[in-house]
Amino acid sequence: MRNISASRRITTCRRREGAAWKNRRVIRATPLLLAAAAAGLVACSTDPARRTEANYCAEVNERLADLSSPVLATQADIDRVVGAWRAVASVAPLAIQDEWSAMVNNIVTAATVDPADPASVQRVADTARQTEPAADRVIVYTQTTCGVTIGNPAPGP
């Protein structure tokens, strides 16, 4: 009988507390979720101290051939070029970080094109058009900051 009474008291207590009881669980879970989200962001981002102009220019110069006129004969070549774009993006200063993310997305999309699939070819063309402003900003920033030209800049007016 005592077990039933104890059970009823717990149930009654939970009913009486209603939303407050549920809110305590949510409040306790929220800091854990925030901590997990923060850890995920830290794990996915690179060290901000690496995102300097000097590091950026050094990485660009080291990978300039793959950024400007890559040789693409094999899948290994494609993987190397995608890796070069990702490496530079990982040290891109905050001023152009978003543009570099767009550029990496563009390169990855191009690397997965199926020339026999019109939808795949169209997806690459659409992505290239959408990222053209980002590409122009990266080219100008890199010319101004590092004194080198990457890619094929659009002709001026």
SS (H, E, C) the chain: CHHHHHHHHHHHHHHHHCHHHHHHHHHHHHHHHHHHHHHHHHHHCCCHHHCCHHHHHHHHHHCHHHHHCCCCCCHHHHHHHHHHHHHHHHHCCHHHHHHHHHHHHHHHHHHCCCCCCHHHHHHHHHHHHHHHHHHHHHHHHHHHHHCCCCCCCCCCC
**What range defines the domain where residue 121 resides?**
48-146
14, 67: one domain: no
Q: Give the pLDDT confidence of 86-104 residue by residue, as tens digits.
A: 999 999 999 999 999 999 9
81, 21: one domain: no
Read off the pLDDT band of 129 (50, 70, 90).
very high
124, 76: one domain: yes
pLDDT at 50: 84
| Per-residue pLDDT at 131 exceeds 70 | yes
Q: Give the pLDDT confidence of 2-41 residue by residue, as tens digits.
A: 444 443 433 334 344 444 434 333 333 333 322 333 333 3
89, 138: one domain: yes
54 is a domain residue: yes
Percent of the chain with pLDDT over 70: 66
Note the pTM of the prediction, 2 decimals.
0.66
| Per-residue pLDDT at 127 exceeds 50 | yes
78, 118: one domain: yes
7, 69: one domain: no
83 is a domain residue: yes
8, 64: one domain: no
25, 72: one domain: no
Q: Compute the average pLDDT of residues 36-49.
A: 44
Q: What is the number of domains present in the chain?
A: 2
